[in-house]
Amino acid sequence: MLALREDNDNAHDLISRSAREIRAAAALDERLEGVVDLLATAAIHIEEAGVTLNRYLGTLDQNPGRLQHVEARIAALAEVARKHRIPIAQLLAQLAELRARLAVIQGSEARLNELKEAQDTLRSAYQCAAAGLRELRAQYAPRLARRIAATMRTLGMPRGEFVVRLDALEDAAANGQDRIEFQVTTNPGQPPRPLEKVASGGELSRISLAIRVLDATAKEVPTLIFDEVDAGIGGAVAEIVGRHLRQLAQHRQVLCVTHLPQMASLGHHHYSITKHSGQETTSVAVAKLHGQGRIQELARMLGGINISEQTLRHAEEMLTHGNLGEVGGVQLGTGVPR
């Protein structure tokens, strides 16, 4: 505005001065008269422009504070764009994206609160169920221990005792908040100790048999295998163990490795297992026995290598007696020492 009309060297004065000087020269050369007319017209246009600009400026709000605010805002936007490493023109798109992320986070917090409430409800229900389960375990554990101990005494452990110990757990577990430990004593005067630290291999098999006999109606284990269940027993006790195995076979398949004819005669199926050792290799052969072959094997188990007619008759009687009232399926394997 000042450059148009108000400064000492404003555009209007400079053009007017130039027009006067060229007009004097045009008196000498008429070819300059066109230039004089153009300058005069330009001076008029500049004066009109100055008037129009003054009128426009009068309509504006002359507020320096507003200008500072706008400049500060522009600087702030530039700083934000620099922080996010994007052009200023992309700030609005960045703002929309950040608002969408915030909405997701706020929704996640609400969902988290819902899950915490559900967790508290489930924890309360679990603790109630665990407490009820603990009461039932405490009620039935002594009864179970007495029944298992009674069965143990028929399996060659006449002074055996069985204990079910329950200890409370602080942490939740899938099966409740109790640690269950089976303890046993097989000799009088000894306190019960953890089953795996006291019982021998044969005793473990017989105790396992005692437990399975009580659980004979369960179907969750289709096959049971007993090894050395006859260790340390013989005679009538061996037959009792065999009868228990036969009873157990009413509901599942039972496999038993035995060296006792009393037990082998009670199996529904009989396999002979032999081991052959060469200079470099060892092989094991399994053969299913039928009829006379089974009688021969039972006789061998009764009397050794030299088998008499009396031993054969005894073996046949054992086999006939063992298969009376046949039910289920006990499969027994007998080994020949090599």
Per-residue pLDDT tens digits of the chain, which is 338 residues long: 445 555 556 777 778 888 888 888 878 878 888 888 888 888 888 888 888 877 777 776 666 677 788 888 888 888 888 898 999 889 899 999 999 888 888 778 788 888 899 999 999 999 999 999 999 999 999 999 999 999 888 887 888 899 999 999 988 888 899 999 999 988 888 889 998 887 677 778 778 878 877 776 555 778 888 887 777 777 888 888 888 888 888 888 889 888 889 889 999 999 999 998 888 899 999 999 999 999 999 999 888 778 888 989 999 998 888 776 443 444 444 544 43
Residue 59: phi, psi to the nearest 5?
-85, -10
Query: Using an 8 Å Cβ cutoff, are 264 and 234 in contact?
Result: no
Residue 133 belongs to some domain of the structure: no
Measured from the Cβ of residue 40, the count of other Cβ atoms closer than 10 Å reads 14
What pLDDT is attached to residue 299? 92
CA dihedral 230, 235, 238, 244 (to 10 degrees): -170
Considering only CA atoms, which of 185, 248, 180 is closest in space to residue 212? 248
- Segments forming the whole domain that contains residue 233: 200-338
Residue 89 belongs to some domain of the structure: no
Measured from the Cβ of residue 152, the count of other Cβ atoms closer than 10 Å reads 23
Query: Residue 62 burial by CB count (10 A; 0-12/13-18/19+): exposed, middle or buried?
Result: exposed
What pLDDT is attached to residue 326? 45
Cα–Cα distance measured from residue 206 to residue 242, given in angstroms and rounded to the nearest whole number: 11
Angle at 53 between CA 52 and CA 57, to 5 degrees: 120
For residue 310, the domain's CATH number is 3.40.50.300
Cα–Cα distance measured from residue 305 to residue 303, given in angstroms and rounded to the nearest whole number: 7
Cα–Cα distance measured from residue 156 to residue 263, given in angstroms and rounded to the nearest whole number: 14
What pLDDT is attached to residue 5? 52
Rg of the chain on CA atoms, in Å: 54
What pLDDT is attached to residue 42? 85
Residue 185 belongs to some domain of the structure: no
Instruction: State the pairing for strand pair 253-258/330-336.
Output: parallel
Residue 301 belongs to some domain of the structure: yes
Residue 338 belongs to some domain of the structure: yes
What pLDDT is attached to residue 121? 94
Residue 108 belongs to some domain of the structure: no
SS (H, E, C) the chain: CHHHHHCCCCHHHHHHHHHHHHHHHHCCCHHHHHHHHHHHHHHHHHHHHHHHHHHHHHHCCCCHHHHHHHHHHHHHHHHHHHHHCCCHHHHHHHHHHHHHHHHHHHHHHHHHHHHHHHHHHHHHHHHHHHHHHHHHHHHHHHHHHHHHHHHHHCCCCCCCEEEEEEEECCCCCCCCCEEEEEEEECCCCCCCEEHHHHCCHHHHHHHHHHHHHHCCCCCCCCEEEEECCCCCCCHHHHHHHHHHHHHHCCCCEEEEEECCHHHHCCCCEEEEEEEEECCCCEEEEEEEECHHHHHHHHHHHHHCCCCCHHHHHHHHHHHHHHCCCCCCCEEEEEEECC
Residue 97 belongs to some domain of the structure: no
Q: How many domains does the chain have?
A: 2
Q: In DSSP terms, which residues pair with 193 in a beta bridge?
A: 184
What's the token pair of residue 79?
């700083």
Q: Which residues contact 138 (CB under 8 A, 6 or more apart)?
A: 166
What's the token pair of residue 182?
């089976």
Give residue for tokens 């369960």. Answer: 218
Query: Residue 71 burial by CB count (10 A; 0-12/13-18/19+): exposed, middle or buried?
Result: exposed
Residues comprising the chain, all counted: 338
Residue 1 belongs to some domain of the structure: yes
